[in-house]
Amino acid sequence: MSVESVMARIAEIDRSLVPPAPAEAPTTSFSATLGAQTAAAEPANATAAMATTAFTPTAPAAGGGGAQAMIQAASAEVGQTEQPPGSNDSPRIAQYRQATAGSGVGPWCAYFVSWAAKQAGMPLGEQGQGFGGVSAVADWAQRTGRSLPAGSRPQAGDLIVWGGRHIGLVESVDANGSIHTIEGNSSDAVSRRTYGADGGGATSYVRLAA
């Protein structure tokens, strides 16, 4: 055997004794792994996920804003009529009744003012339950210090009461004392009326706004 053959054989043996280098694995740091896991756990918009919606009840604005809102709600209803006439009912009147607790079809002047007050954010009653009867409104006003006696000068937003028979909303008062009202169940409709300074014999007023 020649010297060259011997040297080639030795080199071949040396190469067979050296273990092959392992395949290079991708490098992933712990921080990169942690970051990937955190990203997977978070919603796409973390701020949106944490957002909450708070409910804020509507309150009447200072300076009689609630009274004005009540007048606006009532004035938009002028002309609503019973269907059929004399029935104490209509789809719209049924909505006025929803402002009272457990009220059925019947005379609806108290339903109407209960509805208008609720629209303005100052519902009638200790629990905001509204009232289906005129006497119930007057009694509530008396026991809660909201009642003004006959002969008082009302202001816009007050309720005007005629005994246990009828109730309406004072829309405005003229300099001479004339009282303009909006009333439900007045000639089977939501109607505007005008009275002298005595309110057409009004027995009391109810002041809802300070």
Per-residue pLDDT of the chain (210 residues), as tens digits, is 555 564 666 556 555 554 444 443 333 333 333 333 333 332 233 222 222 222 223 333 333 459 999 999 999 999 999 999 999 999 999 999 999 987 899 999 999 999 999 999 999 999 999 999 999 999 999 999 999 999 999 999 999 999 999 999 999 999 999 999 999 999 999 999 999 999 999 999 999 976
- Which strands, in side-by-side order, build the sheet including 166-173? 147-149, 204-206, 159-162, 166-173, 179-183, 191-195
- Residues 25, 121 within the same domain: no
- Residues 136, 176 within the same domain: yes
- 138 token code pair: 């007057």
For residue 24, what are the domain limits?
3-44
Residue 49 placed within a domain: no
CATH code, 147: 3.90.1720.10
**CA 18 – CA 70 distance, rounded (Å):** 96
Entry pTM: 0.69
Residue 195 placed within a domain: yes
